[in-house]
A = this chain, B = another copy of it.
Amino acid sequence: MIVVMQGTATQENIQAVIEQMVELGFNVHRTSGAGQMILAGVGTPAAFDVAEFQVLPGVQTAYRISSPYKLAGRGFRPEGTVITFPNGVQVGGENVTIMAGPCSVESREQIRLSAQQVKAAGGQFLRGGAYKPRSSPYSFQGMGVDGLKLLREVGDETGLLVITEVMEISQIEVMLPYIDCFQVGARNMQNFNLLRELGHVRKPVLLKRGIAATIEEVLLSAEYILSGGNYDLMLCERGIRTFETATRNTMDISAIPVLKKLTHLPVLGDPSHGVGKREFVPAMALASVAAGADGLLMEMHPNPDKAMSDGAQSLYPEQLEKLVEQLRQLAPVVGRRVA
């Protein structure tokens, strides 16, 4: 930590700051000159709040210099994490993984047809919500455990892995028998109780970035899961909230290379939520992979115009097929391959 004192700071102020730094476990070095006094704290205490120092009397500003996350940092596993699923499918490494399916499971017919179409297009995972976070209490809230059973059934039929959203601690146990990967939605990225529980589970997790979460906060949320002992974790950029209203969110494509630098965890892109309109999804999917994404999570529906949720951003099956074909050609340009 570095603390810069104000020119008007008293010896008492300086002493008080040094004592607080020492108490946290820092080794403090003073530097001064040109009317400035800098206190450099060397060491890496587990947890402290730099904001507390910023308001101490006589302090001009203070900076944290050690990373607040440990296990999520690239340095923890420089070669990068590769997650291996029971059927041998791997996420990470050279792979560009395709996960697709409808927003919600609506019926056996709908989810079976979806699975067949995802498989035909070349996907490895079937997505589909059984529990749905909806802004309005009057909207369709998902089929629950019946949806989970249908996902498993058609996943097994087609050989697709199943990924679906968990919204609440009590759902974890219910979901375990049916799914291959938990998905934590953007709204729950800082539901710390849920994250902590997922750290104790032995199933992979995909953690989505919140719409107003900084990249550092994403990694701190990842730390909750990793520090529980669950290392099979991947992250997902799905758009942040900005002033622009032409798109549902603003997909922060730059978060992909930035995260790839900072963490060893695989990073996927979700262009469906990122942009929110079907016609722009393929462009954003291609952009995500061009920028280094390890995979894509996309909404596709056999009949988007009749979807019970998110139809506006769901691809038509034939769009998905064409897109995967383009991704296959694009991936090698950036040293990757679509399975």
Query: Chain B's nearest CB lies how many Å from the CB of A30?
Result: 9
Report the copy number of this chain in the oligomer: 4
Q: How many angstroms between the C-alpha atoms of A215 and B221 in the bound complex?
A: 26
Distance in angstroms between the alpha carbons of A56 and B278 in the assembled complex: 10
Q: Are B31 and A36 in contact (CB under 8 A)?
A: no
- Cβ–Cβ contact B253 & A244, under 8 A: no
- Contact partner of A292 among B258, B278, B283, B326, CB < 8 A? B283
Contact A55 B312 (CB under 8 A): yes
- A227: min CB distance to chain B, Å: 5
For A245, give its contact among B38, B51, B245 (CB under 8 Å): B245
Q: How large is the interface on A (under 10, 10 to 19, 20 to 34, 35 or more residues)?
A: 35 or more
CA distance A220 to B139 in the complex (A): 11
**Quick check: is A224 within 8 A (CB to CB) of the other chain?**
yes
The reply to whether A51 and B243 contact each other, CB–CB distance below 8 Å, is no
Cβ-based interface call for A279 (8 A): yes
Q: Which residues of B contact A221 (CB under 8 A)?
A: 135
Task: Determine the chain B residues whose CB is within 8 A of the CB of A283 once the complex forms.
Answer: 254, 256-257, 290-292
* Chain B residues positioned under 8 Å from A49 (CB to CB): 139, 309-312
A192, B212: Cβ atoms under 8 Å?
no
SS class of chain A's interface: helix, strand, loop or mixed?
Answer: mixed
Residue of B nearest to A33 (CB): B42
- Identify A305's interface contact among B52, B223, B277, CB under 8 A: B52
> Residue on B with the closest CB to A75?
B7
Min CB distance, A62 to chain B, in Å? 10
Residues of B within 8 A of A292 (CB): 283
Determine whether the beta carbon of A287 is less than 8 Å from that of B291: yes
- A247: which B residues are within 8 A, CB to CB? 254, 258
In the assembled complex, A261 has its CB within 8 A of some CB on chain B = yes
> How distant is the Cα of A46 from the Cα of B134 in the complex, in angstroms?
14
Does A290 lie within 8 Å of B280, measured CB to CB? no
Excluding A54-B277, A250-B254, A257-B280, 4 further A-B contacts by CB distance (< 8 Å) are A52-B305, A133-B190, A137-B224, A333-B333
Residues on A lying within 8 angstroms of B by beta carbon are: 2, 4, 20, 27, 29, 31-34, 36, 38, 40, 42-44, 46-47, 49, 51-52, 54-56, 60-61, 63, 65-66, 68-69, 133-140, 167-170, 187-188, 190-194, 196, 210-212, 214-217, 220-221, 223-224, 227, 240-248, 250-258, 261, 274-280, 283-284, 286-292, 304-305, 307, 309-313, 326, 329-330, 333-334
Task: Report, nearest first, the 7 A-B pairs whose CB atoms are least far apart.
Answer: A212-B212, A33-B42, A47-B138, A290-B290, A287-B287, A286-B290, A51-B312
